[in-house]
């Protein structure tokens, strides 16, 4: 049973990597994906392997301290592993973490445009509020510190001048949140090109938050 779970998760990580890579969110070997394998173990993508060619057997198993437990001996886990571990330590409900470099989302952080403001109803339902961290040097412990205060209350976090992370109850859910984030950011970029986008009213926002509570964190429009 456990073995089957690991095989399934490895396949899901590879599928997510291909999906995000096809959308241009994992340029070069950027970005990384992890999934919770057990209480003390996670599966995580290796460093310096382009996600387009990632194979299920290349995904590594580490403990929550980041020590490699199983995997190809010459491989190292992603340098952003501390960020993933921070999420799993803080959130027992986190089953998967996706980190990518979605271009429009990052562009907004360069201009100081916040995604905290409610713009699109479906994005509010799916993502909730999306905070932006202060700038942190990629691949250093600074990233882990930058996301630390936001993890408990948010599933999607923008990393200034760098990328984003999405937390989900499955690999697919975390991946979908990343895609919805980038779609929202792209829409916002278009709106800024054309004029000045208006946020949702407080009244409409309250109605949406009620819907979000009723349906959980999954948008009711998912099937459409």
- Let me know: does 75 contact 58? Beta carbons within 8 Å: yes
Q: Name the minimum Å distance from CB 165 to Zn ion.
A: 9
Nearer to Zn ion, 140 or 210 (CB): 140
Q: Least distance from C-beta 188 to Zn ion, angstroms?
A: 21
Q: Among all residues, whose Cβ is closest to Zn ion?
A: 163
Largest separation between any pair of C-alpha atoms in the chain: 56
Q: Tell me the sheet residues that pair with 157.
A: 165
Q: How far is Cα 166 from Cα 157, in angstroms, rounded to an integer?
A: 7
Total interface residues for Zn ion by CB under 5 A: 1
Closer CB to Zn ion, residue 46 or residue 163?
A: 163
By beta-carbon proximity to Zn ion, the closer residue of 6 and 155 is 155
Q: CB–CB of 59/15 below 8 Å?
A: no
Whichever of 6 and 80 has its CB closer to Zn ion, that residue is: 80
Q: Given the residues 80, 86, 173, 182, select the one marked as catalytic.
A: 80
**Residue-wise burial string across 157-190, b where 16 or more C-beta atoms lie within 10 A, e elsewhere:** bbbbebbbbbbbbebebbbbbbbbbbbbbbebbe
Least distance between Zn ion and beta carbon 166 (Å): 13
Distance in Å, CB of 164 to Zn ion, minimum: 9
The verdict on 102 binding Zn ion (CB under 5 A) reads: no
Residue 209 burial (10 A CB sphere; 0-12, 13-18, 19+): middle
Asked about 182 being catalytic, the answer comes back as no
**Minimum CB–partner distance for residue 163 and Zn ion (Å):** 4
d(CA 82, CA 32): 12
Using CB under 5 A as the binding rule, the residues of this chain from 116 to 175 that contact Zn ion are 163
Identify the CA nearest to 208 among candidates 175, 157, 217: 217
Is residue 169 within 8 Å of residue 163, measured between CB atoms? no
Comparison of 102 and 163: residue with beta carbon closer to Zn ion: 163
Query: Which residue numbers are catalytic?
Result: 80
* Binding site residues, Zn ion, CB under 5 A: 163
């Amino acid at each position: 049973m456990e073995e089957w779970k690991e095989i399934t998760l490895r396949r899901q990580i590879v599928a997510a990597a291909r999906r995000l890579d096809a959308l241009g969110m994992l340029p070069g070997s950027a970005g990384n994906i992890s999934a919770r394998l057990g209480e003390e173990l996670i599966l995580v993508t290796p460093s310096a392997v382009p996600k387009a060619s990632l194979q299920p057997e290349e995904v590594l198993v580490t403990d929550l301290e980041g020590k490699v437990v199983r995997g190809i001996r010459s491989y190292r886990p992603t340098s952003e592993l501390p960020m993933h571990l921070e999420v799993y330590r803080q959130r027992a409900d986190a089953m998967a973490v996706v980190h990518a470099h979605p271009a429009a989302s990052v562009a907004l952080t360069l201009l100081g445009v916040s995604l905290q403001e409610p713009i699109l109803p479906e994005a509010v339902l799916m993502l909730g509020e999306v905070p932006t961290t202060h700038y942190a040097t990629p691949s250093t412990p600074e990233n882990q510190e930058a996301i630390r205060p936001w993890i408990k209350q948010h599933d999607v976090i923008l990393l200034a001048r760098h990328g984003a992370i999405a937390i989900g109850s499955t690999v697919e859910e975390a991946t979908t949140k990343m895609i919805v984030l980038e779609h929202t950011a792209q829409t916002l970029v278009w709106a800024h090109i054309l004029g000045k986008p208006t946020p949702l009213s407080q009244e409409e926002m309250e109605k949406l938050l009620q819907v979000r509570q009723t349906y959980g964190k999954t948008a009711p429009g998912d099937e459409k």
